[in-house]
Amino acid sequence: MANKRVAIIASSAGLETAYKVLNIATAAAAMDAEVGIFFTFEGLSIIHKNSENMLQLKPENAGLAEGFQKANVPAIGQLLEIAKESGVRMIACQMTVDVMGLTKDDFIDGIELGGAAAFLDFSFDAQVTLNF
Amino acid sequence: MTTMIQTNRVVNCEGLACPMPVVKTKKAMEEIQSGEVLEVRATDKGSVADLQSWANRTGHQYIGLREENGVFRHFLRKASEQETKCETTYPHVVRNDELVEKLASGGKINVLDVREPAEYSFARIPGAVSIPIGELEERLGQLKQDQEYYVVCRTGTRSDMACQWLAERGFSKVKNVVPGMSGWQGATERDE
């Protein structure tokens, strides 16, 4: 059953993206899959230390805020903790980090910096690849 | 009213949204022993499909679901490698279909179900007596050495162990039902 691998690219902004990425990642890890996420461009905000302020719903989805509360959806910080605990690899794209003038210190602990090849090396053996 | 079903552990996921029920189930399953039974209580409607898929993928046994007052009570049993290998060594076996015939022909048939109480609760051979394999030693007094017993579990492994153990204690007429409840085509009953 083991040896399933899920490779995810997170490249878009917003709270919606963060949930799509982290729900799939943590559920896959719970199903004993190896999971790797490559954060690039706007997707970097998900692992930014200031993600709570950076991740907002799109204006047209503002009405969902109440629904998120009502459904007791876990906080992004909680999902990130679960992801780390369950061994999800989180790779920040070195190139976009440089372009945006950021450093490793701008991101939460436990992430890696890597390039496209590092992520591809992981993805070549993945049965599931997703792009959000 | 909530039905009592004996389990080794309960995980409360009431009020939690996806993916938390799956995440918490995974964590709890790591902490219990092989063969033990976990109850997951969730209100997330998605948990009905999710936990069955999760069990299917991770190789654990999804025993059954009860819905009570908007709470989904999932029962799962932690798999052990020994069981999936399905090795049987006790020589006296009866196939499922042979037992179905014997039951149909009437007469007194003693079926001894050695699975966990939660498994027994969801589907069992009508009239079967439940003594989980872990309780066999302390409840041996409830069985008689000269009686014939058809011992059943899910895949024939636990019942094989039970048959060997009973035979060593002078039970000469015990038979292992193979494969057991996993392939059972005959009638079943369950707790209401």
pLDDT of residue B80: 79
Closest residue of chain A to B25, computed from CA coordinates: A30
pLDDT of residue B192: 81
**Chain B residues whose C-beta sits inside 8 Å of any chain A C-beta:** 15-20, 22-23, 25-26, 50, 54, 57-59
Q: What is the pLDDT of residues B125-180, one digit of tens each?
A: 999 999 999 999 999 999 999 999 999 999 999 999 999 999 999 999 999 999 99
- Which tops the pLDDT comparison, B6 or A17? A17
Instruction: Kindly report the nearest CA distance between residue B57 and chain A, in angstroms.
Output: 7
- CB-based contact, A127 to chain B, within 8 Å: no
pLDDT of B1 over the 60 cut? no
* Chain A residues within an 8 Å CB radius of B14: none
Give B82's pLDDT tier (boundaries 50, 70, 90): low
Interface mutation vs chain B, best among A22, A24, A26, A128, most B CBs within 10 Å: A26
Asked if residues B18 and B50 have their Cβ atoms less than 8 Å apart, the reply is yes
Question: For residue A117, what are the contacts with CB-CB under 8 A and spacing of at least 6?
Answer: none
Closest among B114, B104, B85 to B175, alpha carbons compared: B114
| Nearest-angstrom CA–CA distance, B126 and B180 | 14
pLDDT of residue B107: 82
pLDDT of residue B17: 93
Single-letter residue type at A39: F
| Nearest-angstrom CA–CA distance, A15 and B165 | 59
Single-letter residue type at B183: G
Instruction: Kindly report the nearest CA distance between residue A27 and chain B, in angstroms.
Output: 6
Q: What are phi and psi of B113, to 5 degrees?
A: -100, 115
Asked if residues B120 and B154 have their Cβ atoms less than 8 Å apart, the reply is no
Instruction: Kindly report the nearest CA distance between residue B61 and chain A, in angstroms.
Output: 14
Give B55's pLDDT tier (boundaries 50, 70, 90): very high
* Chain B residues within an 8 Å CB radius of A30: 19, 22-23, 25-26, 54
Q: How many other CB atoms are there within 10 angstroms of residue B53's CB atom?
A: 13
| Nearest-angstrom CA–CA distance, B170 and B175 | 13
pLDDT of residue A103: 95
Range 7-66 of A in CB contact (< 8 A) with B: 23, 26-27, 30-32
pLDDT of residue A1: 45
Among the partner-chain residues A1, A31, A74, the one whose CB lies closest to the CB of B17 is A74
pLDDT of B83 over the 90 cut? no
Closest among A71, A40, A108, A13 to B18, alpha carbons compared: A71
Closest among B41, B53, B10 to B28, alpha carbons compared: B10
- CB-based contact, A2 to chain B, within 8 Å: no
Residues of chain A below pLDDT 70: 1-2
Active site residue B13: no
Provide the strand spans (E) within chain B.
Answer: 9-13, 37-42, 61-68, 71-77, 93-95, 111-113, 129-130, 149-152, 174-178
Asked if residues A61 and A68 have their Cβ atoms less than 8 Å apart, the reply is no
Q: How far is CA B26 from CA B20, B22, B44, B65, B71, in A?
A: 10, 6, 16, 17, 19
In the predicted model, what is the mean pLDDT of chain B? 92
Percent of chain B with pLDDT over 90: 87
Please state the rounded mean pLDDT for residues B25-51: 95
* Chain B residues within an 8 Å CB radius of A1: 57-59
Single-letter residue type at A67: G
Exactly one of B13, B18, B86, B153 is catalytic; which is it? Answer: B18
pLDDT of residue B85: 53
Within 13 Å, how many C-alpha atoms sit on residue A107's CB side?
A: 25
pLDDT of residue B30: 94
Conformation bin of residue A9: beta by default, left when phi > 0, alpha when psi is -120 to 50: beta
Which tokens sit at B122? 């969801």
